[in-house]
Amino acid sequence: MKKFGIIGPGAVGTAIAYALNQSGHNVALFGRSNSTVSFQEYNHSEQHEFTVHALQDAHEPVDILFIAVKTTQLDSIIPYLNNVIHSNSVIILTQNGYGQLQKINHPYKYHAVVYISGQKDKNSVTHFRDWTLKLPLDNNTLELQTVTQDSLLNIECLEDYPEHVWYKLIVNLGINTVTALTRQPAVVLKSNEVKTLCYNLLVEGKRVAKAENVHFDDDLEESIMKIYEGYPDDMGTSMYYDMINARPLETQYIQGYIYNLSQKHQLSTPYLDSTYAILSTF
């Protein structure tokens, strides 16, 4: 039986632990210190308690390791990775943004496009929706899909993985940028000026994707704006919550990843350039 481990007992990490635990998998959750975290589904009262083991003191390697700390916290866990992996372990980074996988020195590593929505408040995680991790297709990811197929977790192994990476990057570029900068949740799109800014960010994100040989349909921006329109007015984004709570922002690997490629390809992306410049100051 495969041994699973998760670093980061937060919204995404605890949801993965719950999903695997429900179907009887062997799962260890690693955090900053020995503690517990509780998990519940949105609108359900049933709570599930998980033990969290201090990563620094861990010494039992796992076969499949999910890393679910924020991008801004990745550097702090890297010195302890060898506490929980062996030479054939498979590492799945479950973070927003892109480009951070290069920080991990290990042969079997993957960056999942994450569709698991939840929030951690103190020691409690609430899961809102979705259980999907999108991964590139190869033997390791197919094996992960097979061993988790009886669980809530939905592992997708995709030949067109780069398109999915870019789609999520562009979705985050629009709404995360405007909600963080204005410190307002989705209601901010009711302002025509902010809506136009958001749309222009999507146009520029698509331009950078194209330069990276990832091509989307002409109506990509309209279809993403339609998705945003479905958001409840009071819905925030992770970057909005980080901004209003004065926590570090994941700018470097979301807007920054796209910005750096825009610079590399010498593209004109004035909305991206200016919003990225301001976000980088936080």
Q: Which is nearer to ligand NDP, 8 or 136 (CB)?
A: 8
Q: Taking the complex as a whole, how short is the minimal distance between the CB of residue 225 and ligand NDP, in angstroms?
A: 20
Q: What's the token pair of residue 205?
A: 């994100």
Stretch that binds ligand NDP, among 5-13, 146-154, 187-195, 218-226 (CB under 6 A): 5-13
Q: Taking the complex as a whole, how short is the minimal distance between the CB of residue 131 and ligand NDP, in angstroms?
A: 12
Interactions with ligand NDP, residue window 165-224 (CB under 6 A): none
Binding status of residue 114 toward ligand NDP by CB under 6 A: yes
Q: Which is nearer to ligand NDP, 154 or 200 (CB)?
A: 154
Instruction: Return d(Cα 106, Cα 159) in angstroms, integer.
Output: 22
Q: Is 249 left (phi over 0), alpha (psi -120 to 50) or beta?
A: beta
CB 97 within 8 A of CB 71: yes
Instruction: Return d(Cα 104, Cα 161) in angstroms, integer.
Output: 20
Beta strand pairing call for 62-67 and 48-54: unpaired
Polymer length in residues for the chain:
282
Q: Which is nearer to ligand NDP, 81 or 137 (CB)?
A: 81
Nearest CA among 171, 255, 170 for reference residue 210: 170
Q: Which is nearer to ligand NDP, 125 or 197 (CB)?
A: 125
Contact footprint for ligand NDP (CB under 6 A): 7-13, 31-32, 55, 68-71, 73, 76-77, 94-96, 114, 116-118, 120, 238, 250
